[in-house]
Amino acid sequence: MDQPSRSLTGCAGIGLRSEHYVEFIESRPPVGFIEVHSENYFGRGGKPLHFLKLARESYPLSLHGVGLSIGSVDPLSEPHLARLGELIEMLEPALVSDHLCWSSVGGIHANDLLPLPFTGEALSHVVSRVQRVQERLRRRILLENVSSYMEYVQSAMPEWEFLAEVARRSGCGILLDVNNIFVSAHNHGFEAMRYLRAIPRQVVEEIHLAGFTRKPVGGGAEILIDTHSAPVAEAVWTLYAAALERFGPVPTLVEWDADLPPLPVLVAEAAKARSLMELRHACAA
């Protein structure tokens, strides 16, 4: 399958949220691309799609889903895939992605991206579903590693091995969320660099950065939560620099979804990511 992310090599973008629609269209900030949650545009017509089409006239687009539930045992949603396919045809995004997780069972949807047990059975199940999605959409998709706060006793391999094997067997790409790696490494006690070293260079087609919050859990301990409500932490910037060393100037997206700051703050975060990539590659105009 093709690898459309090549056109975004060296670029840093931001997530476009409804609070910033008008200002973004009017100011046209210097970002390399925009990303939106696909499901927010499943409605036909209306304000969201109107502004997205306007933005798309000037910026490359990444469609990032939260509802595919690729790891669920429920059947894949044909209406979901049909509407996603329509959006892809309409907007011609450079990247299409979702999460390596499950979020529904028995027709009931959880308002969360839940981790999978890392077993051989789950691996075969996910690979089969990814292949069906890619056949249905007629393009390669990316899967993102999620942050996690629990582990399954049934898991037979580490997350990084599971993710790399999904990509190898299915032909999908990886959207590597560096903040999620940092969060999960803290919560589960593994080495973040070990995760980076285990992922094949050629399959990482996008990187995500975001902010986290700290939550005390008693006894002086704390967990990190991927809230997308703060600037990228310095420790995550450091890990991102290591990711650039391994994977090159991969298109990078700064996510911020809660306690949304003024648009210039987001643009500045993207500029920082871009500056870390400039030694390798300049973003094409």
Q: Using one digit for the tens of pLDDT, what is the confidence trace for 155-173?
A: 999 999 999 999 999 999 9
Burial of 77 (C-beta count, 10 Å sphere; 0-12/13-18/19+): middle
pLDDT the model gives residue 271: 98
Asked if the structure places residue 284 within a domain, the reply is no
pTM, two decimal places = 0.94
Q: How many CB atoms lie within 10 A of CB 241?
A: 12
Q: How many CB atoms lie within 10 A of CB 95?
A: 27
Q: How many domains does the chain have?
A: 1
Q: How far apart are CA 100 and CA 93, in angstroms?
A: 20
Cβ contact 143:167 at 8 Å: yes
Could you read off the pLDDT of 80-124 as tens digits, one per residue? Answer: 999 999 999 999 999 999 999 988 777 767 777 888 999 999 999
Least confident range from 117-126, 142-151, 212-221: namely: 212-221
Asked if the structure places residue 22 within a domain, the reply is yes
Domain of residue 74: give its range.
Answer: 4-277
CATH of the domain at 99: 3.20.20.150
Asked if the structure places residue 139 within a domain, the reply is yes
Summarize the confidence of residues 41-64 as an average pLDDT. Answer: 96
Asked if the structure places residue 9 within a domain, the reply is yes
pLDDT the model gives residue 162: 98
Beta strand residue intervals within the chain, DSSP E: 12-15, 34-37, 61-64, 95-99, 102-105, 108-114, 142-144, 173-177, 204-209, 213-218, 221-225, 252-254
Asked if the structure places residue 282 within a domain, the reply is no
Summarize the confidence of residues 126-150 as an average pLDDT. Answer: 97
